[in-house]
Every structure is written in C-alpha cells, then in structure tokens.
Amino acid sequence: MTTAPRPRFSVRAGLTEAPEHDGSFENVPEHLLLPLQEWVAYALDNEALVDDYDEDGAERTICLRLRIPTVDEPHRGGSKCHRALITAVGPRLLDVIDAVLAYLAEHGVHDQASIRPLTDTLNEAGSAYRVTEAGDGLEERVTPAVRNAVRQTVADAEDAPATGSAGNHLAAAWQAAYGRSPDAVRAYSESIKAVESAAHAAIQPNNAKATLGTMLGELKNVHSRPGAFNSLTCEHRPSGRDALKLFNENFTAREVVGR
C-alpha cells in the first residue's frame, strides 16, 4: 500500500484549496531565494577556502568565472566579491551555487557538513535541481527532454477520451516523484495505473473492471487483431509481441508494488 503526501493543515481544514502546482520548481522560486543565498554565504565561509595571503581569492575567482560584475560599496561591509555572490538571484544564483560546489571539489574539499544542508533544502523545497552524486555541482533531476515529453503526454492523454484517466495518473506520478514530500512507491504505482487506464479502452473496453492482469490474456491474441492499438494515442504503437512484453513487466510490477 502507498500513502499520499500529508496535505497542508489549511487544506485539511477546508480553509484553502490544494495548490495546483507544488513542484518541481524551476529557476529560483520565492520560497527558495533566501535559503539558497544563506547557503552560499555559509559555504563561502568554509575555512578550507580561506587563504591567509588572499582571503578573497576563492570569491574573486568564482566572480571572474561567472563574469559577475562587482561594485565597491565599503559602507555595506564585506568584500565586493562576497556581496556579489551572496546577493545573486534567479539563474545567476543557481550558477553561483554550481560554481561554489565545483570550486570546493577542485580544491579537494568534500565537506558533507556543507553539502548536506543544500541537498536537504533543494529536496524539501521541491526544486527541479539537485546536487550531483560527486558533489561537484548542480544537475537537473529530470532532463528537459524528459520533462517536456511528460508534460506533452499528460496533455495529450487529457485530450483523448480513449485514454481514460491516464492523464490524471501521470500527473499524480510526476507530483509524487518530484513534488513536495516525494513518494517513490506512489509515483511508480500511479505510472502503472496510467498504463492500465490508457490501454483499457483499446483492449477490454466492455470490461468495467479490467486490470493489467485481465488484459494480459487479450494481448496474447493481439497478433490476430490488426489495428488493436489504433485508438491508443501513440506515435509509435507497439507490436503485439512488444505490447505483451510491456504488459507482462507492468503486471509483475503491479503485483510487487500493490494497488
């Protein structure tokens, strides 16, 4: 069995509606701006980056690499490079974080005490980005091509009556995987339900209780039913053998994960 992410209290109390979009968030949303700026300031204070002969060396190097202009404002305190980095916003802030991680890695600084708070912040806030496995930069949780393909698939499924509630299940799977309170098991389960829903109309349209298991028998005879998949909205429809293999794999997964 899977559990849905805990709804906010205001939603449970009927005071507000659940947010239409709750992750993943691209760029730097408002709720992530200050936490990420604070992490940059924290990371730049790492003793391993301090050079007794050039205390601003690391910050100046990062500014130069990113082509970030600096302004001398001595009344504000701190070095001009430090101020430029910790006040970055939007895509530039993401560039700064990526460059700081890379600089730390280049100098052999693998400080999990610095990296872990950033990892936790990005995860809890539903960011579209994460720290790489090597800890030397940022990466997208999902490549743009995959993200765009999922969005288009959801939109196509919602516009095609023959796919049933596949679009809703796909959207739920995406939210469970990359939204607030990630739930990998629920994401996988919803993905399987999307396959089941999309195939229902094409394989057993008259069986209101059709499941992957009941449809498996139908697929074994699909080679004798030309055009059996014509109603599926796929650019490249599977052959009978490929479809049978796909359903066998998903049926096994459903049995393991549970409904």
Please give the pLDDT value at position 150: 77
DSSP 130: E
Instruction: Give the tokens for residue 225.
Output: 């039913």
* Cα dihedral: 150, 155, 156, 158 (round 10): 120
Please give the pLDDT value at position 99: 95
Please give the pLDDT value at position 256: 44
Is the CB of residue 25 less than 8 Å from the CB of residue 125?
Answer: yes
Is the CB of residue 99 less than 8 Å from the CB of residue 43?
Answer: no
- What is the mean predicted confidence (pLDDT) over 102-130? 88
Per-residue pLDDT band at 102 (split at 50, 70, 90): very high
Triad 220, 225, 226: Cα angle to 5°: 130
For residue 15, pLDDT beyond 90: yes
Is the CB of residue 222 less than 8 Å from the CB of residue 160?
Answer: no
User: Could you read off the pLDDT of 201-216 as tens digits, one per residue?
Assistant: 667 777 777 776 777 7
In sequence order, the 6+-apart residues with CB closer than 8 A to the CB of 72 are: 80
Nearest of 227, 198, 191 to residue 215 by alpha carbon: 198
Q: What are phi and psi of 8, to 5 degrees?
A: -65, 155
Per-residue pLDDT band at 259 (split at 50, 70, 90): very low
Q: What are phi and psi of 226, to 5 degrees?
A: -60, 140
For residue 22, pLDDT beyond 60: yes
**How many beta carbons lie within 10 A of that of residue 226, not counting itself?**
9
Is the CB of residue 23 less than 8 Å from the CB of residue 79?
Answer: no
User: Could you read off the pLDDT of 123-162 as tens digits, one per residue?
Assistant: 989 899 999 888 989 988 877 777 778 778 778 777 766 5
For residue 5, pLDDT beyond 70: no
Q: Among residues of the chain, what percentage have pLDDT more than 90? A: 25
Q: Report which of residues 191 and 163 the model is more confident about.
A: 191
- What is the mean predicted confidence (pLDDT) over 169-198? 79
In sequence order, the 6+-apart residues with CB closer than 8 A to the CB of 201 are: 161, 162, 163, 164, 231
Per-residue pLDDT band at 196 (split at 50, 70, 90): confident
In sequence order, the 6+-apart residues with CB closer than 8 A to the CB of 132 are: 101, 138, 139
Beta bridge partners of 129: 140
Q: Report which of residues 204 and 189 the model is more confident about.
A: 189
Nearest of 247, 241, 207, 205 to residue 224 by alpha carbon: 241
Q: Report which of residues 256 and 133 the model is more confident about.
A: 133
Computed over every residue of the chain, the mean pLDDT equals: 77
pTM attached to this predicted model: 0.63
